[in-house]
Chain A
Amino acid sequence: MARMKFLCDADRCIECNACVTACKNEHEIPWGINRRRVVTLNDGKPGERSVSMACMHCTDAPCAAVCPVNCFYTTADAVVLHNKDLCIGCGYCFYACPFGAPQYPKVGNFGSRGKMDKCTFCAGGPEADGSKEEYEKYGANRLAEGKLPLCAEMCSTKALLAGDSDVIAQIYKERVKTRGYGSGAWGWQTAYHETIAT
């Protein structure tokens, strides 16, 4: 089985936000929820870099560790998913997440959080693959169809890579070797306790 990861090549990302739009469209994400977003560092200054960020599907995921109702699980492809039927919307995964991935629809009064929503690596949820229930709660299950996450698939500069760790790390290494520089695999040290030696 593969070890699925995201890798955003910040030297290629042009901040077009197509990944954000693709994600919202593919999974019919409601207003106010963003499973993926692009953050630009040093905007307008020399050395500006943009990084597309979503749930990184961490090794030993912090969200899963702190969840009071234990609603997270990790698939055989190392994708971190959660069960919305169990989630109570307490917000603890947001406190623990280093990447700000968990999102909460606003329901009811004041800051009441609804059931958490986050990137599924286009792998759906605990319901039957490709079922209506799964789609309504978690969005499309592209992995079950043999496809990779749409954000990376349609990235115009191929900055965002998604797939097996070894494969995407190799692609990135070759790029860095060819062009002579690379600002590194953003978030990898934090998410996977390892980075790509270039």
Chain B
Amino acid sequence: MARLSVAIRLIVGALALFCLVALAAPRPAAAQSNPNAAAVSEQQLLNQLKVIKGLGTIPDTKSYVLEHPAGRDWRQFHTVWLKWIGGVSILGMLALLVVFYLWRGKIPIESGRAGRKIVRFTGFERFVHWLTASTFVILGVTGLNITFGRALILPWLGPNAFSAWSEWAKYAHNYLSFAFTLGVVLMFLMWIGQNFPTKADVDWLKRGGGMFTKRHGGHPPAWKFNAGQKLLYWFVVIGGAAMIVTGYMLIFPFYGGLTVGNMELASVFHGIVGVMFIALILAHIYIGTLGMEGAFEAMSEGDVDLNWAKEHHSLWVEEELARERSPKGPGLVTSTPAE
């Protein structure tokens, strides 16, 4: 019995030793290899991916991004490209308007004022317009401040005053965005019916809206909105939507899985569309005030001179006058003619 147990012990021992040797054999080879061979390399990761991301132990999951060198591209955009795009589009538009004004002057009502007025925009339409317009001006100024303020305003306002103003500007920009959004949505719904392209628009565009000729009767016919106004409408709706979407991506950082890359892209779109928007609205303001006789009253008082309407929106006037002749409600506001 004792001999058997010794034999078993020997066999088991030999087997165990054999197993140990067999298992241990490859190990020295591994110890000699470079433990860094399989290690992640920063350069390799950066070449493969735009972002180096891992795992962390704090609740803030966005901090698991270790490196994100694309921030430098965004810096290049913000400090160089946006300034050029914004400067050229806004100053370029102002220069164009000055040249246009010097050449064309204020576009007159060619046949003089009729003294009769026709309702062009209802109180509600004007409210929506001015809601959008007033918030747009504030959003535009405070937006430009973020891009150009440091170079243009900071030097003469000083760091403390400029920071105080910029902080209020930021709050105004963030909070008034909601009023602007409401304005754009209402404008979209309110005017979409009159802004689909028609045959008259093709003719209007071909003749440059009659803006580039000084000869009388040069204004092409148009419905309530001419092709230029329709283009503006669609830019406000589509560009406005782009501004709203990208703006809210920046106001609500990291909501709904937004990454820093998404937000950089949103900021790029917000900046480019924003400066183009401002340039376009400058032209809109010009033609609605300084550039054309009888235009501003459409949005201030709501009614325009009949002759202005006939010259600029002939098809619309015919329609309105036809409606007035029908028993259903008057479109004309008859005022006592000037003696």
Contact = CB atoms under 8 A, between A and B. Distances in A.
Contacts of A2: none
Nearest to A88: B167
Contact of B60 (A34, A41, A42, A110): A34
B41 interface: yes
Given A92-B78, A189-B42, A100 B62 contact: yes
Contact of A95 (B34, B55, B260): B260
B71 A97 contact: yes
A187 interface: yes
Contacts of B56: 37-40
B68 A100 contact: yes
Contact of B38 (A39, A47, A71, A83): A47
B42 A186 contact: yes
Interface string B239-277: 000000000001111110000100110010000000000
B297 interface: no
A69 B36 contact: no
B40 A49 contact: yes
A10 B35 CA distance: 12
Contacts of A11: 35-36, 39
B147 interface: yes
A88 B163 contact: yes
Contacts of A89: 167, 170
Contacts of B166: 68-69, 88
B41 A183 contact: yes
Given A11-B39, A34-B63, A181-B35, A96 B78 contact: yes
Contacts of A66: 74-75, 78-79
Interface in B35-75: 35-43, 45-46, 52-58, 60, 62-72, 74-75
Interface in A66-88: 66-71, 83, 85-88
A155 interface: no
Nearest to A188: B42
B81 to A, nearest CB: 12
Interface stretch (B121-129, B130-138, B154-162): B154-162
Given A90-B170, A94-B260, A181 B36 contact: yes
B314 interface: no
A68 B149 contact: yes
B174 interface: yes
A85 B60 CA distance: 26
B72 A62 contact: yes
A30 interface: no
Query: Chain B contact residues (Cβ within 8 angstroms of A): what range?
Result: 35 or more
A146 interface: no
Nearest to B72: A62
Nearest to B78: A66
B16 interface: no
Contacts of A97: 68, 71
A70 B71 contact: no
A104 to B, nearest CB: 8
B146 interface: yes
A111 B43 contact: no
A105 interface: no
Nearest to B258: A111
A181 B34 contact: yes
A17 B41 CA distance: 21
Contact of B40 (A41, A69, A83, A86): A41
B9 interface: no
A112 interface: yes
A69 B63 contact: no
A65 B75 contact: yes
A184 B42 contact: yes
Given A38-B57, A69-B154, A70-B154, A95 B263 contact: yes
B65 A69 contact: no
B62 to A, nearest CB: 7
Contact of A90 (B38, B146, B159, B264): B146
B244 to A, nearest CB: 15
Given A42-B40, A90-B170, A68 B57 contact: no
B104 interface: no
Nearest to A110: B252
21 contacts: A11-B39, A39-B56, A40-B55, A41-B52, A41-B54, A62-B72, A66-B75, A66-B78, A66-B79, A68-B149, A68-B150, A68-B166, A69-B149, A86-B159, A94-B260, A96-B74, A98-B67, A111-B253, A111-B255, A183-B39, A183-B40
For the complex of A and B, the 10 pairs showing the least CB-CB separation, nearest first, are A47-B38, A181-B36, A41-B54, A39-B54, A86-B163, A39-B66, A47-B39, A88-B167, A46-B38, A96-B75
